[in-house]
Structure 1
Amino acid sequence: MASSSQSHLLSLPLPHSPSSFLSKPRTPHLPLTYPSPIHQRTVPLLTLNPRPMNGFQPHIHHHQHHSIARQRLLLVCCSSIESQNNSEGNEEDMPVRKVRNKRVSDWTTSVLLFGFWAGLMFYIFQLTPNQTPVRDEYFLKKLLNLKGDDGFQMNEVLVAEWYIMGLWSLIYSMLLLPTGRSSQSKIPVWPFLVLSLVGGCYALIPYFVLWNPLPPPVEEDELEKWPLNFLESKITAAITLAAGLGCIVYAGLANEDIWKEFYQYVRESKFIHIMSIDFSLFTAFSPFWVYNDMAARKWKGSWLLPLALVPLLGPALYILLRPSLSALPTISAATTETE
Structure 2
Amino acid sequence: MVVVLAKPNLVSCNFPTLKTLKSIEPHRTTTTTAAFASKCCLRLSSFKFKPLVVTKPSFALSSFRKKGTIVICHDSSNKESEVGRSVDEGGRDWTTSILLFLLWVALIYYVSFLSPDQTPSRDVYFLKKLLNLKGDDGFRMNEVLVSEWYIMGLWPLVYSMLLLPTGRSSKSNVPVWPFLTLSFFGGIYALLPYFVLWKPPPPPVEETQLKTWPLNFLESKVTALILLASGIGIVAYAGLAGEDVWKEFFQYCRESKFIHVMSIDFTLLSTLAPFWVYNDMTARKWFDKGSWLLPVSLIPLLGPALYLLLRPSLSTSVVAQTPAESE
TM over 0.5: yes
Mapped to 2, the partners of 1:131 and 1:267 lie a distance apart of 9
Q: Could you tell me which of 131, 138, 148 is aligned with 1:144?
A: 131
User: Would you identify which runs of 4 or more consecutive aligned residues in structure 1 move more than 2 Å?
Assistant: 76-79, 91-100, 331-339
Aligned 8 A contact 1:165 1:279 in 2: yes
| Structure 1 position 183, deviation (Å) | 1.6
Equivalences for residues 33-72 of structure 1 within 5 A: none
- TM superposition score normalised by structure 1: 0.70
| Structure 1 position 93, deviation (Å) | 9.8
| 1:112 maps to 2:103 | no
| 1:275 maps to 2:244 | no
More helix by share: 1
| 1:186 maps to 2:173 | yes
Aligned 8 A contact 2:168 2:202 in 1: yes
Mapped to 2, the partners of 1:206 and 1:241 lie a distance apart of 27
Aligned 8 A contact 1:218 1:331 in 2: no
Q: Could you tell me which of 208, 216, 228 is aligned with 2:215?
A: 228
Aligned 8 A contact 2:187 2:265 in 1: yes
Mapped to 1, the partners of 2:244 and 2:54 lie a distance apart of 86
More strand by share: 2
One-letter amino acid matched to 2:280: D
| Structure 1 position 335, deviation (Å) | 4.4
One-letter amino acid matched to 1:263: F
One-letter amino acid matched to 1:264: Q
- Assess, with a 3 A threshold, how the Cα gap between structure 1 residues 133 and 151 changes in structure 2: closer, same or farther: same
Mapped to 2, the partners of 1:337 and 1:197 lie a distance apart of 34
| Structure 1 position 338, deviation (Å) | 2.4
SS in 2 for 1:305: helix
Counterpart position of 1:317:
306
Q: Could you tell me which of 236, 254, 262 is aligned with 2:249?
A: 262
Counterpart position of 1:204:
191
* Structure 1: runs of 5 or more not aligned: 1-75
Aligned 8 A contact 2:202 2:320 in 1: no
Q: Could you tell me which of 228, 251, 267 is aligned with 1:241?
A: 228
Mapped to 1, the partners of 2:143 and 2:225 lie a distance apart of 24
- Assess, with a 3 A threshold, how the Cα gap between structure 1 residues 329 and 197 changes in structure 2: closer, same or farther: closer
- Assess, with a 3 A threshold, how the Cα gap between structure 1 residues 159 and 333 changes in structure 2: closer, same or farther: closer
Once the two structures are superposed, residues 23-56 of structure 1 have per-residue CA deviations (whole angstroms, 9 ceiling, x without a partner) of: xxxxxxxxxxxxxxxxxxxxxxxxxxxxxxxxxx
Aligned 8 A contact 2:202 2:321 in 1: no
| Structure 1 position 334, deviation (Å) | 3.4
* Structure 2: runs of 5 or more not aligned: 1-52, 60-74
Identity %: 67
- Assess, with a 3 A threshold, how the Cα gap between structure 1 residues 197 and 333 changes in structure 2: closer, same or farther: closer
Aligned 8 A contact 2:205 2:320 in 1: no
Once the two structures are superposed, residues 229-256 of structure 1 have per-residue CA deviations (whole angstroms, 9 ceiling, x without a partner) of: 1111000000100111111111010000
Mapped to 2, the partners of 1:256 and 1:108 lie a distance apart of 43
- Assess, with a 3 A threshold, how the Cα gap between structure 1 residues 130 and 333 changes in structure 2: closer, same or farther: closer
Counterpart position of 1:334:
321
What is the count of residue pairs matched by the alignment?
253
Counterpart position of 1:298:
285
Mapped to 1, the partners of 2:319 and 2:107 lie a distance apart of 37
| Structure 1 position 77, deviation (Å) | 5.1
Mapped to 1, the partners of 2:134 and 2:320 lie a distance apart of 53
- Assess, with a 3 A threshold, how the Cα gap between structure 1 residues 141 and 297 changes in structure 2: closer, same or farther: same
